[in-house]
Chain A
Amino acid sequence: EAGVTQFPSHSVIEKGQTVTLRCDPISGHDNLYWYRRVMGKEIKFLLHFVKESKQDESGMPNNRFLAERTGGTYSTLKVQPAELEDSGVYFCASSRAALLAGAASTDTQYFGPGTRLTVL
Chain B
Amino acid sequence: QKEVEQDPGPLSVPEGAIVSLNCTYSNSAFQYFMWYRQYSRKGPELLMYTYSSGNKEDGRFTAQVDKSSKYISLFIRDSQPSDSATYLCAMGSLQWGFQNFVFGPGTRLSVLP
A contact residues vs B (CB 8 Å cutoff): 4, 33, 42-45, 48, 55-56, 58-59, 91, 93, 100, 102-103, 105-106, 108-114
Contacts and interface: CB of A to CB of B under 8 A. Distances in A.
B98 A108 contact: no
Interface in B77-113: 88, 90, 92, 94, 97-99, 101-106
B43 A112 contact: yes
B4 A108 contact: no
A42 B102 contact: yes
Given A4-B43, A44-B103, 13 more contacts: A43-B88, A48-B98, A58-B99, A100-B92, A100-B94, A100-B98, A100-B101, A111-B43, A111-B44, A112-B43, A113-B41, A113-B42, A114-B43
Interface of A is mostly: loop
A111 B41 CA distance: 12
B27 interface: no
Contact of B103 (A42, A100, A105): A42
A21 to B, nearest CB: 13
Interface of B: 4, 32, 41-46, 49, 51-52, 88, 90, 92, 94, 97-99, 101-106
Given A43-B88, A103-B51, A113-B41, A108 B46 contact: yes
A59 B49 contact: no
A103 B44 CA distance: 22
Contacts of B98: 33, 45, 48, 56, 58-59, 100
Nearest to B4: A42
A36 to B, nearest CB: 11
Contacts of A100: 32, 92, 94, 97-98, 101
A114 B44 CA distance: 9
A58 B103 CA distance: 16
Nearest to B97: A56
